[in-house]
């Protein structure tokens, strides 16, 4: 007791010392694990060592250059340059960067990618093996991107079509609404005229000099940062950077890189747009604020925390209202975040129920004003502090788990916006003081600072035939609410019962414990007959996952019950759990990182859970309740049905939905009993009572489930929790198996053209070939290889050579149950004028595989990727979960090289040829092509 008291006194003394010495003007503590420097030519570099994925590193170049810097005759060229970075540099001519990286197992679009925004352009090559040669290659790629793009006329011309097809692929109702309203979003600043994709007349016709001028004006060392993140020696990398990148000359008399601050507006600005494809409304209400790029202090941290806390509480209130049937809302949230380089925005996003725009807008404005006038309750503040505290604790515990992408995002904002890269442990100490001193009055003052009278905007997505919210009506609602004397402060009833309330928990015992030395797991048999397979893994610190699987699923249900399984998981999630509604459950779980879900699949059902290490007990409680005290809330069911009604209205004119429904109808007919369209008829056959009965039938006997637990929790900790929460679940000796419920297409060969009205004409192609094939690990790998080799071929032929598509999505797979069947699928959008030519190429490439006309280089790239990806996957806890489940459920050891690595290394062109022949012989296939109606 003396030691505990002494520790408590030390903590209190430390807290008080920090509180007394803390000045709001003090700079934030810097993260020391990131090395930052600036070369004489102005180039900034960042280096961070992490072993989250061993023996690889990721390379990024961050250009402080985006579409806002384009001249009128250059609109789209910042993005076009992004494409050109992969089409030839001084040391990597043509597709040299892609070829070199693909040889070592990297995949274009996943490991090799880029993006262009209004204010920045970022290129990345991720997870390059850290051999001495490839470290130099990674740095050389960044060096070439910095100053040595080739920009040859041939490559420029061939890429015009690719960019045009990227634009075509992205054009839909939502994009057209954005194009109509972007002026209001950005108050008619340069941002509203510089969507990064650009203008297609510019893309089709710009002179080569326009692109080269943009490149030479803006791609320069004083506007560039590079970041190397991974399993590297920081000092060695820094020395290499200094030697290599210092040779790039600084640009003399550079054009000044100006920042754009969106001008103020005293009166509310408003816009409304409609599109035939958009059949549901939305409202965006925003209040713009200036953003500072000055060095951040504790005052900035405090303001950021309070902004996040205040908006989060309002969003929680809105979410509670959403769960009532009489709410006019489908969805609403409030946030405060970045709008542009020099502007933040306090914003509300509102999705009303059909024809309820006015009531929805009034409700959200009322909730915002309720907070602005009366602030927040002590209970709300206590919960949000608990949530933030837990978030900090989990970030610190999982600091080494951060992906390269997560790390680089902090680096990007540091370079581009001077955002501080803070030592998270020291920041938490400061945050605890801020939390400890936080008052209701202070949080009230913060939300009042956000709710300005100027810089307001409203963008309405309207629907033809509906009563859409006009500017005058919006202003009237705002004025009425702001002057409403009857508005009262928020009141709540807090449910303070423990999570396991109402459960007659009678702990069981562990009756046997044995080790699986091959897998490295422990098998616990519990007194109720449940078997739990457990493995301690801390590859990801502070991360624990549970999975419980039982065979059966939809395959054991009658046809008339199947519609009620479609939304079963949604109803369960929306109903809450145990004695707590979906509104109360998050309050009980405030400050804890633990969750659980259920799902009913085609041949199985499952319960899953995840948590931090400290909250494993809470996760186990949640899993127990999924079996012992599930909650079925008919009010939540009614709310969900309203949401589904609105969803059906929203999807009714969406081009993608029409295409998907057409595919289903073409393959299975209009009245198939199991392969159904998601429509009003299907909804009418759903039943709340049936959902309850189905859930009970699928999850009523935990004894039929196999449990798996993997993660950063010790055996000593997990054993008593298993006895208390899993061994206590009632079970029976009944066991189930899945049935074959597969169905056939109406024809084995289907070739169909479908004509649809389109505002922006495009052709969409869907090709699928399938055949019965015995499942084996080798066949599974071969089918994947077939898909990936074809992906390489189509990238070269359809995209690069023909310029007719932004890219084809190709996938090869083989199913194990309910049928053993191999499938290859190819999907792409394209220029209607080139559609028939591209479809012919699709079949030509598949036939080439069948005849053995396969490039060894393509197969080598694919197999290198398989081996590389497998090796990297072993760095994560999720691999160990797959290892455990495959060992128990499928009967093989993923860690044994004979079950993967040896197979991959043995694959030849002949193997690929033979499996393609097997797939194509007497195969079933469809080719469905969606074309614009003329």
Is the bond into 818 cis (omega within 30 degrees of 0)?
yes
Looking up tokens 């065979």 gives: 551
269-294 b/e (C-beta count within 10 Å ≥ 16 → b)? bbbbbbbebbbbbbbbbbbbbebeee
Q: Name residues whose C-beta falls within 8 Å of residue 788's C-beta, 6 or more positions apart in sequence.
A: 810, 812, 862, 865
**SS3 breakdown of the chain: % helix, strand, coil, rounded to 5?**
45, 20, 35
Can you tell me whether residue 746 is helix, strand or coil? coil
pLDDT per residue over 280-321, tens digit each? 999 999 999 999 999 999 999 999 999 999 999 999 999 999
Predicted TM-score of the model (pTM): 0.95
CB-based contact 85:145 (threshold 8 Å)? yes
> Structure tokens of 820?
């053993």
pLDDT for residue 496: 75
pLDDT for residue 223: 98
pLDDT for residue 19: 61
Looking up tokens 């493995």 gives: 535
Rounded to 5 degrees, φ, ψ at 403 are: -75, 165
Q: Which residues of the chain have pLDDT under 70?
A: 1-21, 495
Strand bridging mode 34-38 / 456-461: unpaired
Q: Which of 163, 139, 168 is nearest to 77 (CA)?
A: 163
pLDDT for residue 278: 96
Pairwise CA distance, residues 277 & 172, whole Å? 8
Q: Which of 49, 868, 46 is nearest to 402 (CA)?
A: 49
Q: At what angle do helices 471-482 and 357-374 cross, to 10 degrees?
A: 30
Q: Which helix (H) or strand (E) holds 302?
A: helix 298-322
Q: Which of 330, 861, 323 is nearest to 644 (CA)?
A: 330
Residues across the chain: 934
Distances (CA, A) of 706 to 532, 557, 596, 883: 6, 21, 16, 14
Pairwise CA distance, residues 551 & 888, whole Å? 13
> Structure tokens of 892?
């093989």
Q: 640: which DSSP letter?
A: H
CB-based contact 766:774 (threshold 8 Å)? no
pLDDT for residue 9: 47
């Amino acid at each position: 007791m003396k030691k505990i008291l002494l520790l408590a006194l030390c903590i209190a003394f430390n807290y008080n010392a920090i509180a007394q010495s803390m000045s709001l003007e003090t700079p934030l503590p810097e993260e020391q694990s990131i090395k930052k420097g600036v070369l004489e030519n102005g180039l900034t570099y960042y280096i961070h060592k992490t072993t989250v994925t061993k023996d690889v590193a990721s390379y990024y170049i961050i250009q402080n250059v985006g579409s806002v810097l384009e001249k009128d005759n250059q609109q789209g060229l910042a993005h076009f340059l992004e494409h050109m970075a992969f089409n030839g540099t001084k040391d990597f001519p043509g597709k040299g960067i892609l070829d070199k990286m693909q040889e070592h197992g990297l995949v274009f679009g996943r490991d090799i990618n880029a993006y262009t925004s209004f204010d920045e352009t970022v290129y990345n090559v991720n997870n390059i093996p850290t051999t001495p040669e490839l470290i130099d290659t990674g740095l050389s790629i960044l060096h070439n991107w910095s100053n040595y793009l080739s920009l040859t006329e041939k490559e420029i011309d061939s890429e015009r079509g690719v960019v045009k097809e990227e634009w075509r692929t992205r054009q839909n109702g939502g994009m057209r609404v954005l194009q109509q309203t972007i002026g209001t979003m950005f108050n008619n600043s340069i941002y509203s005229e510089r969507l990064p994709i650009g203008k297609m007349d510019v893309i089709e016709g710009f002179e080569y000099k326009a692109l080269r001028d943009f490149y030479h004006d803006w791609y320069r060392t004083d506007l560039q940062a590079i970041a190397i993140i991974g399993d590297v020696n920081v000092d060695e990398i820094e020395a290499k950077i200094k030697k290599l990148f210092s040779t790039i000359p600084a640009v003399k008399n550079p054009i000044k890189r100006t920042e754009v601050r969106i001008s103020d507006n005293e009166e509310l600005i408003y816009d409304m747009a409609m599109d035939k494809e958009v059949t549901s409304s939305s409202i965006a209400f925003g209040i713009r604020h200036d953003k500072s790029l000055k060095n951040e202090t504790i005052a900035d941290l405090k303001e950021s925390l309070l902004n996040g806390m205040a908006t989060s509480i309002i969003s929680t209130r809105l979410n509670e209202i959403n769960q009532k049937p009489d709410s006019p809302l489908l969805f609403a949230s409030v946030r405060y975040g970045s709008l542009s380089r020099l502007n933040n925005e306090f914003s509300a996003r509102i999705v009303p129920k059909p024809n309820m725009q006015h009531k929805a807008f009034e409700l959200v404005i009322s909730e915002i004003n309720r907070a602005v006038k009366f602030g927040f309750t002590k209970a709300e503040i206590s919960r949000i502090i608990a949530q933030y505290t837990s978030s900090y604790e989990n970030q610190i515990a999982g600091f080494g788990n951060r992906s390269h992408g997560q790390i680089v995002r902090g680096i990007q904002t540091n370079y581009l916006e001077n955002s501080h890269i803070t030592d998270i442990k020291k920041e938490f100490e400061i945050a605890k003081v801020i939390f400890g001193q936080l008052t209701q009055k202070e949080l009230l003052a913060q939300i009042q600072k956000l709710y300005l009278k100027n810089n307001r905007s409203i963008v309405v997505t309207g629907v033809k035939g509906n009563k859409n919210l006009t500017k005058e009506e919006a202003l009237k609602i705002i004025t009425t609410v702001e002057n409403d004397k009857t508005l009262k402060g928020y009141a709540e009833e807090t449910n303070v019962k423990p999570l396991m309330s109402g459960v007659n928990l009678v702990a069981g015992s562990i009756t046997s414990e044995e080790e699986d030395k091959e897998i490295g797991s422990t098998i616990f048999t519990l007194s109720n007959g449940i078997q739990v397979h457990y493995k301690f893994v801390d590859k990801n610190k502070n991360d624990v996952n549970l999975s419980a699987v039982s065979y059966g699923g939809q395959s054991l249900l009658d046809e008339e019950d199947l519609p009620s399984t479609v939304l079963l998981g949604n109803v369960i999630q929306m109903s809450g759990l145990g004695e707590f509604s979906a509104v109360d459950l998050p309050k009980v779980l405030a400050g804890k990182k633990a969750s659980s879900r259920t799902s009913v699949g085609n041949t199985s059902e499952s319960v899953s859970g995840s948590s931090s290490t400290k909250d494993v007990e809470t996760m186990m409680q949640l899993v127990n309740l999924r079996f012992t005290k599930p909650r079925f809330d008919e009010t939540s069911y009614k709310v969900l049905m309203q949401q589904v009604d609105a969803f059906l209205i929203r999807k009714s004119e969406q081009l993608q939905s029409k295409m998907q429904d057409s595919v289903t109808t073409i393959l299975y007919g209009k009245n198939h009993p199991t392969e159904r369209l998601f429509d009003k008829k299907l909804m009418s056959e759903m039943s709340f009572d049936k959902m309850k009965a189905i859930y009970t039938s699928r999850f009523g006997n935990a004894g039929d489930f196999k449990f798996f637990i993997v993660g950063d929790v010790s055996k000593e900790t997990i054993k008593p929790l298993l006895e208390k929460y899993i061994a206590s679940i009632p079970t029976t000796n009944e066991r189930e198996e899945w049935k074959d419920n597969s169905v056939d297409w109406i024809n084995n060969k289907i070739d169909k053209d479908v004509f649809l009205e389109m505002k922006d004409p495009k052709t969409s192609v869907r090709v699928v070939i399938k055949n019965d094939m015995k499942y084996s690990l080798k066949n599974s790998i071969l089918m994947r290889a077939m898909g990936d080799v074809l992906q390489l071929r189509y990238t070269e032929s359809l995209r690069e050579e023909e310029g007719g598509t932004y890219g084809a999505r190709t996938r090869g797979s083989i199913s194990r149950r309910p049928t053993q069947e191999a499938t290859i699928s190819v999907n792409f959008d394209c220029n209607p004028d080139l559609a028939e030519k591209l479809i012919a190429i699709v079949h030509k490439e598949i036939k080439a595989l069948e005849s053995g006309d396969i490039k060894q280089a393509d197969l080598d790239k694919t197999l290198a990727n398989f081996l590389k990806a497998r090796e990297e996957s072993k760095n994560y806890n999720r691999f160990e979960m797959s290892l455990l489940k495959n060992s128990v459920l499928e009967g093989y050891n993923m860690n044994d090289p004979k079950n993967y690595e040896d197979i991959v290394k043995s694959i030849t062109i002949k193997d690929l040829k033979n499996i393609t022949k097997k797939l194509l012989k007497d195969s079933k296939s469809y080719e469905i092509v969606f074309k614009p109606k003329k």
